[in-house]
Amino acid sequence: MLFWIVIALLTFAVAASFLLPLIRSGLRAEVQARDGAMAVYRDQLQELERDKAASLITAQEADYARTEIARRLLSAESGLEVSQTQQSSRHIWAQGFVVLLVPVLGLGLYLLLGSPGLPSQPLTARLAEPGNDINLLIAKAERHLMENPDDGPGWDVLAPIYLRQNRIGDAQLAYQNAIRLSGETPERLNGLAEAMVLQNDGVITDDARDLFQRSQVLQANNPRAQYYLALALEQSGKREEALAAFKKIAADSPADAPWQPLVARHIAQNGGAPVNPNASRNSGPAPPGNPDAAAVAAAQSMSDADRQKMIAGMVASLDAKLQADPHNFEGWMRLVRSYVMLKDQAKAMAALKTALKTFPADSNEGKQLIDAAKALGLSVDEVMK
C-alpha cells in the first residue's frame, strides 16, 4: 500500500509541474487584457476633459461622449469576461488532459516494459543471497567492511576486484588497508603499486617504483614487478638498462607466458631483437596444464604409467577445449609443447597446423607458434608450405 501511495504522490507532483506553466500563462494573459482595456478608456476620458476645458466641445456634448465611453467600457468588460470564461474552459480541458495523460501513459509503459508480477526485492534480502551477481557481492563485502573496518582479509579480497573494475581510488585504499592490517606480500605491494600507476595515467612514480622493488625483495621470481621496474627504466630514458631488463624477463619466463608478447614489443621498442625464451634452458618443456593441489598430490603417489595416463588425459581435455574455442593462443602453445613432452610428434604437428588456421604464420601469434615449434625440435617446413 505504501508503494502505491508514493506512486500517486509522484504522479501528482509530475502533473502539477506540467499544469503550473499553463495556469500562470492564462492568468498573465487575463491581467494584461484587462489592464490594456482600462488604459484605453482612461485616456479617452482624459482627452474628453481636455477638449471640454479648451471649449472645443460644449458641456452637453461632453456628457454625451462620457456616456458613450462608459457604454463601450461596459461592453468591452462583458466581452472580456466571455473570452476569459472560454479561455478558462480551454485551460480546464488542457489541465484535465495532462492530469490523465501522465498516469495513463506511465501505466501503459510500465505494463508494456515493466514486470508488474515481479515480487519485491529489498536490498537486504538480495545481499543475503547475492548468487553470482558481482555487484551484489561487492555491495555485501562493502557493507561487511563498513561494520568491520579492521578485517584485513576482507580488504585483501576486495582490492583486486576494485582494480579489475577500474575503481582505482577504491583499489588503492583497499590495498593500503590490507597492507596495514595484514602486512606486506608481493601480491599486495604489486596491486597497490599498479593502482598508483593507473592513477597517474601509466607513469611509474618514485613511490610506485619503491613498492615494486620491495615486492621483488620478498619474491625474486616476480615477473609483474620486474616488468614495471623495466618500464620505469624505459620511461626515464635508460633504454639500454630497460632492454636488458626486458630480455631477462623474456628469458626467465615460460614461452607460453601471457606477458611474452608485451615484453617482446618493449624489447623491439628499445632496439633489441626477439629472445627465444627456451634458449637458456636445458630442461624439457613444461607440463601441460595447471593442476590443482589435489591433482599434484595424487600424481606423486602414482606409478610412472599411471602418471603418464593422467597427463595424457589432461592433454586430451585441453585439445578438446581448443577444438571448441580455437582462439585461445596460449592454449595452443601449451598443447603443442605437451604433445612433444608425450613424444607424440604426429599430434604435435597436427595441433600446430590447426593452430595456424586461426593464427596465420605471418601474424605475430603465428610466428611465436612456429618459433616455439622449432625450439621443441619440430620440423616446420611442412606447415610453411
Quickly state the pLDDT bin for 124 (edges 50, 70, 90): low
**Reduced to 3 states, what is the DSSP secondary structure of residue 325?**
coil
Domain 136-269 sits in CATH 3.40.190.10:
no
Q: List CB contacts of 34: < 8 A, sequence separation 6 or more.
A: 80
Domain 136-269 shares a fold with domain 293-384? yes
Euclidean distance between CA atoms 309 and 176, whole angstroms: 46
Crossing angle of helices 134-147/152-164, nearest 10°? 140
| DSSP letter, residue 202 | T
Nearest to 333 by CA among 363, 292, 289: 289
pLDDT average, residue stretch 326-337: 84
SS3 content of the chain, % helix, strand, coil (to 5): 75, 0, 25
Spatial contact of 319 and 350, defined as CB atoms under 8 Å apart: no
Q: Which three cell numbers stand for residue 115?
A: 514486470
Where do the domains of the chain lie? 2-113, 136-269, 293-384
Euclidean distance between CA atoms 44 and 49, whole angstroms: 9
Please name the amino acid found at residue 114: G
Q: Which three cell numbers stand for residue 107?
A: 501505466
- Which pLDDT score is estimated for 342? 77
pLDDT at 372 over 50: yes
Answer whether 0.75 is exceeded by the pTM: no
Quickly state the pLDDT bin for 65 (edges 50, 70, 90): confident
Please name the amino acid found at residue 281: R
- Which pLDDT score is estimated for 45? 74
Taken as a whole, the chain contains a residue count of 385
Distances (CA, A) of 53 to 39, 42, 44, 50, 298: 21, 17, 14, 5, 126
DSSP string, 5-19: HHHHHHHHHHHHHHH
pLDDT in tens, 220-265: 889 999 999 999 999 988 989 999 999 999 988 888 888 889 899 9
DSSP E strands in 217-282: the ranges are none
Q: List CB contacts of 264: < 8 A, sequence separation 6 or more.
A: 250, 274, 275
Of 276 and 188, which is predicted with more confidence?
188
Question: What integer best gives the mean pLDDT of the chain?
Answer: 75
Euclidean distance between CA atoms 142 and 140, whole angstroms: 5
Grid-cell match 499553463, residue found: 22
Domain 293-384 sits in CATH 1.10.150:
no
Percentage of residues in the chain with pLDDT exceeding 70?
Answer: 64
pLDDT at 10 over 80: no
Task: Read off φ and ψ for residue 95, nearest 5 degrees.
Answer: -65, -45
Task: Read off φ and ψ for residue 58, nearest 5 degrees.
Answer: -85, 170
Please name the amino acid found at residue 12: F
